[in-house]
């Protein structure tokens, strides 16, 4: 077929490939120490419980699990989400829960409702790359809200008051790993409410805490003005492609209609599978195992960074999640460093990918969950050598 027969919409010019998705293509490369991807550890997937749940579902409810379902999602799963969020400090009704095909779809649906050409969406600096990609096709401009090491600055929200919404990840943020303190959450919610600035709260990492659970969601302090997104990808398995959106009416009804037009409903077999699995009571024990595994990775990376890069970079040790955020000397361009790193057998994500308007070229993100401790140490040592070499080369050129 002649490709010129396709007259593409102008908005397709805003579609860009994900640097992280491109890095994933390299993950099968022999010997590569992968510190770049945002994948959960496959070693932590509950494969055997899922196999057993699959057998039960196909034996007990095969017609329902393999048939079309309601757009809103399986009632038992929506009720479980409501009860789980109540334990986290967010009181909602199951009728407010929409099951989505991963929380990434939730981002797309919210963007479809709120954004259009000539509008703005406010984001943290830096922010989740996938959110920037989800927002881009709807032709709004992403604008950055001022942040510090604790998250968005409430006193600066007035600078983005004209935005259709503020998107934020309060818990163990991707890419920085930071967790917004309780007092800051209350302040953000209060200021956003005063400005009439809706919030999109994305929370895929909230269960991945190491020492203590994070504070209640920001949505708990302004539920009428917040769309809250969650996911089963990081706590069970991303291949299930299940997440959820919690929204106030009438936004909820419009989200349902938008999802109905997009894919009718999320996979019913996966929903039945997860409900069966959750009702066995295995989740908390499973999460304890995942947290212990990730804590070991975090500790290994913290030690490796201290050993090899304490004079080359600055970072905060995350208290949960999957990532370290490194700030290198200003003369280092992490994007230019990446091809050299891959040649030497280690990958990372340059920080420039996570900014809407004012990129930091001398920052990068490292993941500590997909490699064992000894390979984390190997990868960090290699990265340190590359940074030292780049600094030495620049010093030599300056002389």
> Distance of CA 170 to CAs 18, 277, 286, Å?
23, 28, 23
Ranges of CATH 3.90.1150.10 domains, the chain: 9-45+284-398
Ranges of CATH 3.40.640.10 domains, the chain: 63-279
Whole-number pLDDT of residue 1: 44
pTM: 0.95
Whole-number pLDDT of residue 7: 87
Quickly tell me which residue has 């919404």 as its tokens: 165
Helix, strand, or coil (residue 151): strand
CB-based contact 215:188 (threshold 8 Å): no
Whole-number pLDDT of residue 24: 59
Whole-number pLDDT of residue 229: 99
CATH class of 9-45+284-398: alpha beta
Helix, strand, or coil (residue 327): strand
Averaged pLDDT in 10-residue chunks for the chain of 399 residues: 74 76 64 92 95 98 98 98 98 98 98 97 98 96 97 98 99 98 99 99 98 98 98 97 97 98 98 97 96 98 98 98 98 95 95 95 97 98 97 72
SS (H, E, C) 20-45: HHHHHCCCCCCCCEECCCCCCCHHHC
Torsion angle in degrees (nearest 10) through CA of 74, 77, 81, 87: 150
Q: Helix-strand-coil percent breakdown of the chain, rounded to 5?
A: 50, 15, 40
CB-based contact 245:107 (threshold 8 Å): no
CATH number at 63-279: 3.40.640.10
From the number of C-beta atoms within 10 Å of its C-beta (0-12, 13-18, 19+), residue 145 rates as: buried
Which two structure tokens, joined as six digits, stand for 182?
């309780």
Whole-number pLDDT of residue 387: 98
What are the residues facing 99 on neighbouring strands?
244
SS (H, E, C) 258-283: HHHHHHCCCCHHHHHHHHHHHHCCCH
From the number of C-beta atoms within 10 Å of its C-beta (0-12, 13-18, 19+), residue 373 rates as: middle
């Amino acid at each position: 077929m002649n490709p010129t027969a396709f007259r593409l919409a102008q908005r397709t010019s805003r579609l860009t490939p994900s640097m992280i998705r491109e890095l994933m293509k390299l993950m099968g490369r022999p010997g590569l120490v992968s510190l770049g991807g945002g994948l959960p550890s496959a070693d932590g997937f509950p494969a055997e419980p899922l196999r057993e749940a699959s057998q039960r579902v196909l034996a007990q409810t095969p017609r329902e699990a393999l048939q079309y379902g309601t757009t809103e999602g399986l009632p038992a799963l929506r009720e479980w989400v409501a009860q789980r969020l109540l334990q986290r400090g967010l009181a909602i009704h199951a009728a407010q829960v929409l099951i989505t095909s991963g929380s990434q779809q939730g981002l797309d649906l919210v963007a479809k409702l709120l954004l259009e050409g000539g509008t703005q969406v406010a984001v943290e600096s830096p922010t989740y790359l996938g959110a920037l990609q989800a927002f881009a096709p709807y032709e709004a401009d992403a604008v950055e809200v001022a942040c510090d090491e604790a998250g968005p600055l409430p006193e600066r929200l007035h600078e983005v008051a004209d935005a259709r919404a503020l998107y934020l990840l309060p818990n163990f943020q991707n890419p920085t790993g930071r967790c917004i303190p309780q007092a800051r959450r209350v302040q953000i919610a209060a200021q956003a409410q005063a400005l009439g600035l809706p919030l999109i709260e994305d929370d895929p990492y909230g269960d991945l805490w190491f020492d203590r659970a994070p504070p209640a969601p920001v949505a708990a302090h302004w539920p009428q003005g917040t769309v809250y997104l969650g996911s089963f990808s990081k706590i069970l398995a991303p291949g299930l492609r299940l997440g959820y959106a919690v929204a106030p009416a009438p936004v909820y009804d419009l989200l349902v209609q938008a999802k109905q037009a997009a894919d009718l409903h999320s996979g019913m077999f996966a929903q039945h599978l997860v409900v069966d699995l959750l009702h066995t009571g295995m989740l908390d024990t499973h999460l304890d195992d995942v947290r212990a595994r990730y804590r070991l990775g975090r500790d290994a990376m913290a030690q490796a960074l201290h050993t090899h890069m304490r004079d080359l970079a600055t970072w905060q040790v995350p208290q949960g999640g999957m990532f370290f955020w490194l700030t290198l000397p200003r003369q280092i361009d992490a994007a230019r460093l990446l091809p050299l790193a891959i040649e030497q057998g280690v990958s990372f994500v340059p920080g420039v990918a996570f900014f809407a308007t004012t990129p930091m070229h001398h920052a990068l993100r490292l993941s500590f969950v997909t490699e064992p401790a000894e390979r984390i140490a190997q990868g960090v040592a290699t990265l340190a050598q590359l940074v030292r070499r780049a600094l030495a080369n620049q010093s030599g050129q300056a002389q």
